Amino acid sequence: MTADDPYPLCQGADPDPTPVTFAVPPGTIDCHAHIFGPESRYPYSPRRGYTPPDASLQTFLNLHRTLGGIERAVLTQPSVYGTDNSCMLDAVDTMGDRFRAIAAVDEDISDKELEDLHARGVRGVRVNLVDKGGMSFDGIDAVRRFTQRIKDFGWHLEVLIHVHEFEDLYATLNSMAVDVCVGHLGYMKTSHGLDHPGFQEFLNLVRHGRCWVKLSGSYRITTSDLPPYSDVKPLAQALIEANEDRILWGTDWPHPVFKGTMPNDGPLMDQLGTWAPDEKVRKKILVDNPSALYGF
């Protein structure tokens, strides 16, 4: 691999996850994860920005058993596959009603194709404004128009953005015809601080109930090398306090295109026990909220 490799190989997840230290409630849903490969069967997009190692459905299920008996999951279409959702949907087909999916689509997709995606467990559309190859729409206005088409399905729009860099965050996301879900706690480095105007605007959006947030990818926003990422806690707790009925959690397994020290998934999930020490609130985040959003 060279420095100018357009498809650099990224590291894989820690192969030896440890159990979490709190009791995982029955019906827990991992709301953000990806399945990769094999590339011979599911070729990657030539527009991708990285190449992941294989991350199979069986390995993912083994992770869930080890963590503490996670029963359900929502797979999110990664940018490396563009709008070819085959790998993800085949995994959802295998798991039946235990899995849901968030797809990536082109704006000219037909109504029949949307209906077929719904029948296969898709409950939202992802627009990735961060990673190369993740944006298949001609700008935010096109995304806004498209949300009118998915409204009757009960779907939502999932976006990967940096909330501190997103212009007119509140007005733009609140103008969509459907609810919006933001990944990775807003994807703002903790060094910007809790009082950053962009994060405060994000909190305001969450308070008003049109926005859901995934407590995922904490290792992507921390300034620390290994968990527990104490600098993430104030941001996570501010989001929970803003609206505990709109908070979700996900592993972000297998942690693609992460260049730091790969964390173990047990300590990663253990952070939720610190962010939400109240078991009732934790059950909302792990079971009740995602059940409502994804239609389990």
Active site residues: 252
**Tokens for 82?**
């563009």
CA distances to 30, 74, 257, 263, 269 from 253, in Å: 10, 11, 11, 11, 11
CA distances to 132, 236, 259 from 107, in Å: 18, 33, 32
Contact at 8 Å (CB) between 184 and 252? yes
Residue recorded with tokens 């990536």: 104
Contact at 8 Å (CB) between 23 and 272? no
Burial class (CB in 10 A: 0-12, 13-18, 19+), 11: middle
CA distances to 89, 162, 172, 219 from 189, in Å: 32, 9, 22, 10
What is the rounded CA–CA span in Å between residue 251 and residue 245?
A: 19
Q: Where are the alpha helices (DSSP H) in the chain?
A: 57-67, 86-95, 111-119, 140-150, 169-174, 197-207, 233-242, 265-275, 279-283, 289-294
